[in-house]
Structure 1
Amino acid sequence: MAANDFYKTPSDAVTAVNSIYFLLNAGSNAVQTPYNTLFNTGMNFMGDDENPGPGATNPDVRSQSVLGHASTGLRVLQIWQQHYSGIKKANIAIEKIPGIDFGANTKLRERLIGEAKFLRALYYFNLVRLYGGVPLILKDLSTLEEAHSKPRRNTVQEVYAQIEKDLIEASTVLDPIAGGADAGRATAGAAKALLAKVYLTQRKWENAILKANEVITGPYGYNLVQNYAEVFLPIYKNGPEHIFSAQFKSVSQGQGNNQAPRSVLTGVPGIVGSYADQVVFYSVPDATKPGGVDKFFSVYKLYSKKDKRRDVTFVTKFKSPTNGNWYGRLNDPAIPGDSVPFFNKYWDPANVSNLAESGANVPIIRFSEVLLILAEAENELNGPTGIAYTNINKVRRRAGLDDLTEGLSQHQFRDSLYLERRLEFVFEYQRWFDLIRERDAAGNGILESSLHKVGKTNASAKHYLFPIPQQEIDLNPNLEQNPGWL
């Protein structure tokens, strides 16, 4: 159905905006969307926390995990296409909804346009971080003439300017909170939180501080939940820490979180797991291990034993719902207790026998991140002030950790904050974006050194950006390839 034939009633407008959200989390074993396994197979696997496990047999995915991907790679193309599909739906909604008669309910019309702008901003934010400058398409390319246009890549600055514009405009019309049937929709608080992250990414420290403070002190009711496990358990979804998440629903037309079974050991009676996701194991010196080397170091061992996040983020064994026995696997029988840690954040206790129906949401931005955004921006602008310490310590205390050591230098605080982000957001599709954003004391990026440390020694400067998909260049020769890619 043509857009002009569809956009007639307020109900049509709601349905159209719902379809923009659909590109965040729709998926199945055959189709992946960004927050339903695509970011994991197309991005997480390249990092220093996660590798494809034995159940991830796709050669394209396994090649990408060791940075052997190319511009013709399937995941490189899918991430691009999925995001532009969402942008196309947002553009149509933004263009068509103003012409619909909402009667006296003009507030709903403005809110729906605001939701579309928020989602368009999120899609472009992902694209510009992954690919650099991309074509900035802001209207419905539905006519024959427009459909055959060959847009050039906009600059990174131009893309970010539009992202900021969309989020600022969205924040003025979206509801402060969304509950009941509207739970999970974009809100004014979500727009400001994402804008704070956009500013942080661009190193606009003052603006990041301003927006983070507006979220923290605003009328949104956000707070840290005391029990870290409640952030992820489906029965607590959309609680006070959840600013914006990709929504999943159990036993409802395939709307479950397909990431959940990929993190489970195969062969456990009563649980269908593929063990497609595995931590990155790498070697570090350790005098307590045979040969003076721990061959099975991973992000799991970066947690202190009293960090409450570790045993929520990971499990080391599974209980069969069929026979009640526990199943796990040792990496090396000669090293007692060195069990494989399995990612656990999308486990759904109500759907153990069919985890593909997991109702666990995927957090896109939550309140703990806003606290860390404020701490990071404050440190970068003014050094490790009391404000910076206060906000990072809120996150640490919830994890059961002591306050961060006083008297750190700016660089020491930065490193501590980077580690805090890593441990707080494991398996939430944040790590790759952090690797390409974060910098050392000299202002150099940390991507290459971080990947070299875990054995991915071919990591180079070109990996700060994905290649532009060759299939898109074939369709549009005006698209220039990123440096270093063929």
Structure 2
Amino acid sequence: MKNIYLYIFCLSLLSLGSCSLDTEPLTQKTDTNFYKTTDDAFSALVGCYDGLQVATGAGGRGIPVMSEVMSDDCFGGGGASDGYDLAAVDEFDISRSPADVDLYNSNWIAYYKAIYRCNVFLSKMDQIDWKGDTVLRNTYESETKFIRAYIYFEMVRLWGNIPLLIAPSSENIPQANPDEVYKVIAEDLVFAANNLPAVGYSATTSGHVTKWAAKSLLGRVFLYYTGYYGKTDLVGVVTKAQALAHLEDVIAGSGHGLVDDFSALWPAASVDKYAGEDNRETVFAIKYSYTSDYNGNTDGNAWLVMFGMREFSSYPYGHGWGVTVNSKLWNIYDANDTRRDASIIGIAEENIPFDKLNSQREYTGYYNKKYTPMVDENGLELPIKLGSKFWDISQFQDYVVIRYADVLLMAAELESGNSQAYFDQVRQRAYKANFTSLPVSKDNILKERHLEFALEGVRYWDLLRQGIGTASSTIAETTTLLSGGVAGTKTISAAKIQATKGLQQIPNTQITLSGGVLKQNAGW
């Protein structure tokens, strides 16, 4: 009989025996007397959501940030005297920072902790007294399966070759074939799409997985898998027609829609006219709050500070660690496209008196406006203003995983009969009175996705699903950047990206702990 330590499990590898808990039990609940009531079930579900929240930003190296660093839209940046860990990611080259062979170890651990929570809860469904409420059971099971699918999708995209666990286990197992992982992802999302209630959008469902979120994520998984692996369907579970049907359901029945003003989606871009985190365009978001501390409370957005201007604040933009935006991104926007100024902080364009060139590596003059720390008119960090003691770990802006605009463009890409109308809706919002129609085509859709979802953690995966050749040639470049105020050459090699197949390194600690059962990805 296991003790339940408020869902704190030690999973440095995959095995509970690979390390020992160093805390006293916080409760005397056990796996035989805890999973009994619907209140217990709710607590378990909250534990699964908490696992997702923590895993998304583990160790401050949140996958939304790392996805942007890997793309053509951002450089690793950071401090002029920092280590070169982000350069190793940016350039797909561990020789840039040989000591960082455990760069993603915190992410790996947090992901498998979250998977464990989901697997435990799913294994206890029959043990709970649901009092005949099959809708509640199906809802909780669906939300949990969505969380598991989302986490596995993040992992299999990042690493490609990962161990697959669908039940609580301490077994040291080898990496699965990616198709096995995608089969679980697809089946979990289909279950959620079919079993969650068809309730229209409401801000009161904030943070919870909905039927529409499951259907939308299924579309994203279908497009990525079929693109990256060159397949026609999603591991025999979902066809193109079925993926499109799910997206059409979201458009027809979810109640989601586009916010009229693109800038209103982002707090730093809109300030007084911000549409709010639970606006109708948000199909699914990972929630954060400002209550984090260094005593185990980890509810904040730990990765957001990576995008902030290096050690410099200028209302409403707060300071951070200085991941920089490639000037090429600014330049590809039409001057009439409202998304440019809503997406990117332009130092010169906004007359910001940035004076930390000597502190910034790979300075470009541009930073992420969609996800950036914020300060008030007096320069006070918003988490501090709200009562937090730690501005860096208590950023509270939610991460919007899927927006309704994405649903429209995915449906257009899957060749809906309404593709032109869906494509035009997104562009009309962006250009307003300056809108002119473009013919819908896959190439135009992918270009529009770049402009629409820039700096949201989407771009890299959109490139990769077009093939490693396209991704590597698009990301590769040689340019001159200021680091510590001194001009230097920055090179990202297409050959390095191709050698890794676009995948990241398996943490070396995990390979060591597995006794060599886990194998490193090529190119690392």
TM-score band by shorter chain is: 0.7 to 0.9
Select the residue among 437, 459, 468 that pairs with 2:497.
Answer: 459
Q: Structure 1's 434 and 55: CA in aligned 2 closer, same or farther, altered over 3 A?
A: same
For 2:280, the aligned partner's letter is: P
For 2:333, the aligned partner's letter is: Y
Select the residue among 107, 112, 129 that pairs with 2:157.
Answer: 129
Other-structure match for 2:411:
374
Q: Give the whole-Å Cα distance in 2 for the aligned partners of 1:239 and 1:191.
A: 18
Q: Structure 1's 42 and 79: CA in aligned 2 closer, same or farther, altered over 3 A?
A: farther
Q: Give the whole-Å Cα distance in 2 for the aligned partners of 1:68 and 1:339.
A: 22
Correspondence list, 1:97-116, <5 A = 97-116=125-144
Q: Give the whole-Å Cα distance in 2 for the aligned partners of 1:26 and 1:111.
A: 22
Correspondence list, 1:417-436, <5 A = 417-436=445-464
| Partners of 2:65 and 2:457 within 8 A in 1 | no
Q: Alignment partner of 1:446: what SS?
A: helix
For 2:278, the aligned partner's letter is: N
1:198 and 2:221 are equivalent in the alignment: yes
Other-structure match for 2:198:
176
Other-structure match for 1:335:
none
1:474 and 2:502 are equivalent in the alignment: no
| Partners of 2:193 and 2:212 within 8 A in 1 | yes
Correspondence list, 1:319-398, <5 A = 326-328=352-354, 340-347=365-372, 353-355=380-382, 356=391, 357-378=394-415, 387-398=418-429
1:48 and 2:72 are equivalent in the alignment: yes
For 2:371, the aligned partner's letter is: Y
| Partners of 1:316 and 1:328 within 8 A in 2 | no
1:88 and 2:116 are equivalent in the alignment: yes
- Give, in angstroms, the shift of residue 362 of structure 1: 1.0
1:301 and 2:346 are equivalent in the alignment: no
| Partners of 2:103 and 2:507 within 8 A in 1 | no
| Partners of 1:448 and 1:461 within 8 A in 2 | no
Q: Give the whole-Å Cα distance in 2 for the aligned partners of 1:232 and 1:260.
A: 13
Q: Give the whole-Å Cα distance in 2 for the aligned partners of 1:129 and 1:258.
A: 21
Other-structure match for 2:177:
155
1:273 and 2:308 are equivalent in the alignment: no
Q: Give the whole-Å Cα distance in 2 for the aligned partners of 1:180 and 1:422.
A: 28
For 1:468, the aligned partner's letter is: I
Other-structure match for 1:249:
289
| Partners of 2:37 and 2:128 within 8 A in 1 | yes
Other-structure match for 1:60:
85
Select the residue among 252, 256, 261 that pairs with 1:227.
Answer: 261
- Give, in angstroms, the shift of residue 162 of structure 1: 1.1
Other-structure match for 1:290:
none
Q: Structure 1's 38 and 125: CA in aligned 2 closer, same or farther, altered over 3 A?
A: same
Deviations 1:151-180 (A, max 9, x none): 222222221111111011112222334746
Q: Structure 1's 339 and 162: CA in aligned 2 closer, same or farther, altered over 3 A?
A: closer
- Give, in angstroms, the shift of residue 403 of structure 1: 4.1
Q: Give the whole-Å Cα distance in 2 for the aligned partners of 1:55 and 1:11.
A: 47
How many residues get paired? 433
Q: Give the whole-Å Cα distance in 2 for the aligned partners of 1:58 and 1:395.
A: 40
4+ residue runs over 6 A deviation: none
1:239 and 2:261 are equivalent in the alignment: no
Other-structure match for 2:63:
39
Q: Alignment partner of 1:115: what SS?
A: helix
Q: Alignment partner of 2:184: what SS?
A: helix
Q: Give the whole-Å Cα distance in 1 for the aligned partners of 2:41 and 2:203.
A: 19
Q: Give the whole-Å Cα distance in 2 for the aligned partners of 1:104 and 1:207.
A: 32
1:311 and 2:341 are equivalent in the alignment: yes
Q: Structure 1's 272 and 464: CA in aligned 2 closer, same or farther, altered over 3 A?
A: closer
Q: Structure 1's 314 and 330: CA in aligned 2 closer, same or farther, altered over 3 A?
A: farther
| Partners of 2:35 and 2:128 within 8 A in 1 | yes
Other-structure match for 1:286:
none
Q: Give the whole-Å Cα distance in 2 for the aligned partners of 1:119 and 1:201.
A: 18
Select the residue among 431, 438, 442 that pairs with 1:405.
Answer: 438
Q: Give the whole-Å Cα distance in 2 for the aligned partners of 1:347 and 1:76.
A: 22
Q: Give the whole-Å Cα distance in 2 for the aligned partners of 1:42 and 1:151.
A: 27
Q: Alignment partner of 1:399: what SS?
A: helix
Q: Structure 1's 209 and 398: CA in aligned 2 closer, same or farther, altered over 3 A?
A: same
Correspondence list, 1:279-294, <5 A = 279-280=325-326
Deviations 1:317-357 (A, max 9, x none): 59x9xxxx9534699xxxxxx98222111357676621444
For 1:389, the aligned partner's letter is: Q
Other-structure match for 2:212:
189
For 2:430, the aligned partner's letter is: A
More off after superposition, 172-181 vs 421-430: 172-181
Q: Alignment partner of 2:94: what SS?
A: coil
Select the residue among 46, 49, 61 that pairs with 1:18.
Answer: 46
| Partners of 2:304 and 2:372 within 8 A in 1 | yes
Q: Give the whole-Å Cα distance in 1 for the aligned partners of 2:355 and 2:332.
A: 20
Q: Give the whole-Å Cα distance in 2 for the aligned partners of 1:269 and 1:217.
A: 42
Structure 2: 5+ residue stretches without partners: 5-30, 227-232, 234-239, 268-273, 358-362, 383-390, 479-490
| Partners of 2:77 and 2:86 within 8 A in 1 | no
Other-structure match for 1:78:
106
- Give, in angstroms, the shift of residue 311 of structure 1: 1.1
Q: CA RMSD in A?
A: 3.2
Q: Give the whole-Å Cα distance in 2 for the aligned partners of 1:402 and 1:93.
A: 50
- Give, in angstroms, the shift of residue 482 of structure 1: 2.8
For 2:398, the aligned partner's letter is: N
Q: Give the whole-Å Cα distance in 2 for the aligned partners of 1:306 and 1:58.
A: 39
Q: Structure 1's 128 and 339: CA in aligned 2 closer, same or farther, altered over 3 A?
A: closer
| Partners of 1:121 and 1:162 within 8 A in 2 | yes
Other-structure match for 1:382:
none
Q: Structure 1's 133 and 67: CA in aligned 2 closer, same or farther, altered over 3 A?
A: closer
Q: Give the whole-Å Cα distance in 1 for the aligned partners of 2:34 and 2:523.
A: 44
Q: Alignment partner of 1:268: what SS?
A: coil
Deviations 1:34-59 (A, max 9, x none): 9x651145432222111123438343
| Partners of 1:135 and 1:151 within 8 A in 2 | yes
Q: Give the whole-Å Cα distance in 1 for the aligned partners of 2:303 and 2:161.
A: 30
